[in-house]
A and B are shown apart, each in its own frame.
Chain A
Amino acid sequence: MARMKFICDTERCIECNGCVTACKNEHEVPWGVNRRRVVTINDGEIGAEKSISVACMHCSDAPCMAVCPVDCFYKTGEGVVLHNKDTCIGCGYCSYACPFGAPQFPSQGTFGMRGKMDKCTFCAGGPEEHGSQAEFEKYGRNRLAEGKLPSCAEMCSTKALLAGDGDVVSDIFRNRVTHRQSNGKAAGGDVFGWGTAYGVPKKDAAPASGAKS
């Protein structure tokens, strides 16, 4: 069984926000809700600027699922983390638990200032009938059930954002890194994290005075 995953190649992302636009358009996401966004660090610093497209990472051990008091989350056979908006109470616990800021809360709706949670579905809809109008209105398009991959990745102009079976996308990424290395370019083999963003600290560096241990 395929395990659906996203990978964003920071050596390729050009911060065009095409993925954000594709997502917004595909699912008719309301104003104020961003299921996907592009984060840029070291903005303007030549050689150090990096951008990454972030959304729900469909974690294998999802913290949002663990903290939800009404147990509205579920996982599909492909490892996609989805939720049932009929059960969600919009408490926001998932938002505090998620390290990627994926859960979003619309400012208009049933609960006034904070509606029911909305997040990236890996274009897999929700528990409603696949491809139905009810599913579209609550969760957006169900592209997986149409035999397609998420719109954000398929629209990515530089193919920085990859989506699909974890084995396939990691093969593609590995192949790129190998090509870059053989061409003497920056390999960019590290998947985006603290080290990519801020550099790896020297092992023998003394901690700053007053720093907490």
Chain B
Amino acid sequence: MKILVTLLWVLFLVACSEKVQNIGTSKNVDLPAYMGAKNNYVEKNWTPGDKISWEAQLKSRAKGQDEYTRVE
């Protein structure tokens, strides 16, 4: 009897649930850039998937924009 009442309550309350209706998502569904690109243009100085080596690669690349350090 107790089980039957519980089942009835479950059936009664099931209409109270609601599906998520968000049209878009602000969640970042993108993979991190350090995972690397699957093409032949990836620089050889770092290892795809290794965040530390990717950051070091971008840092050295950014420092290459400074001609004061390049000529010294």
Task: Collect the chain B residues with CB atoms within 8 Å of residue A32's CB.
Answer: none
Min Cβ gap A29→B in Å is 18
Task: Collect the chain A residues with CB atoms within 8 Å of residue B26's CB.
Answer: 65, 71, 73-74
If the complex has contacts A2-B58, A78-B33, A127-B30, are A164 and B65 also in contact, measured as CB distance less than 8 A?
A: yes
Contact B37–A74 (Cβ < 8 Å): no
Interface string of A152-164 (1 = CB under 8 A from B): 0110000100111
Which interface residue of A147, A148, A172 has the most chain B CB atoms within 10 A?
A147
Contact B35–A145 (Cβ < 8 Å): yes
C-alpha gap A70/B24 in the complex (Å) = 5
Interface string of A136-151 (1 = CB under 8 A from B): 0000011011111100
With A78-B33, A147-B36, A164-B61 given, name 5 new contacts (CB 8 A): A71-B24, A71-B26, A75-B28, A131-B41, A172-B66
Can you identify 28 A-B contacts, CB atoms within 8 angstroms?
A1-B55, A2-B58, A70-B24, A71-B24, A72-B24, A74-B26, A74-B29, A77-B33, A78-B33, A84-B24, A125-B30, A127-B29, A131-B36, A131-B39, A144-B58, A145-B42, A146-B43, A147-B42, A147-B43, A147-B61, A149-B61, A159-B65, A163-B62, A168-B62, A172-B65, A172-B66, A172-B68, A179-B68
Task: Sort A-B residue pairs by CB-CB distance and give the 9 closest, nearest first.
Answer: A131-B37, A164-B62, A147-B43, A71-B24, A131-B39, A145-B37, A70-B24, A144-B33, A168-B62
Chain B interface (Cβ < 8 Å from any Cβ of A):
22-39, 41-43, 45-46, 48, 54-55, 57-59, 61-63, 65-68
